[in-house]
Amino acid sequence: MDGSASQLAGKKAVVAVTAGVPAEHYTPEGSNQATLETLLGSWHATLRLCQFDIQQPMVKVYGTAFGLSDEDLATSAKQYNELLAAFAA
């Protein structure tokens, strides 16, 4: 970049991801040998390069392919809806 402001500068961005396996797979000791934050680091780097206003926290839903309980699904859906509502405000 030449140092000028990106046309995306200041626009809000949020990273939301679902993972088919349980959270323990996303640890340095787990089968993926990294956290989701580590694996998605390039996404955050690209958003920063484009000067997005990255909203926190990253939304993560684990275990979607292996029988996520109705209660866990409802909790995750509620959290995601709250994030979207805040994001749109």
pLDDT digits (tens, 9 = 90+) for 28-82: 999 999 999 899 999 999 999 999 999 877 777 787 777 778 898 888 889 888 8
Closest among 57, 67, 13 to 36, alpha carbons compared: 57
Query: pLDDT tens for residues 5-16?
Result: 789 999 989 888
In a domain, 1, yes or no: no
In a domain, 5, yes or no: no
In a domain, 44, yes or no: yes
CA distance 74 to 85: 16
In a domain, 4, yes or no: no
For the chain, the domain total comes to 1
pLDDT given for residue 1 in this prediction: 54
pLDDT given for residue 80 in this prediction: 84
| Residues 6 or more apart in contact with residue 24 via CB below 8 angstroms | 30
In a domain, 6, yes or no: no
Distance from CA of residue 20 to its chain's centroid? 14
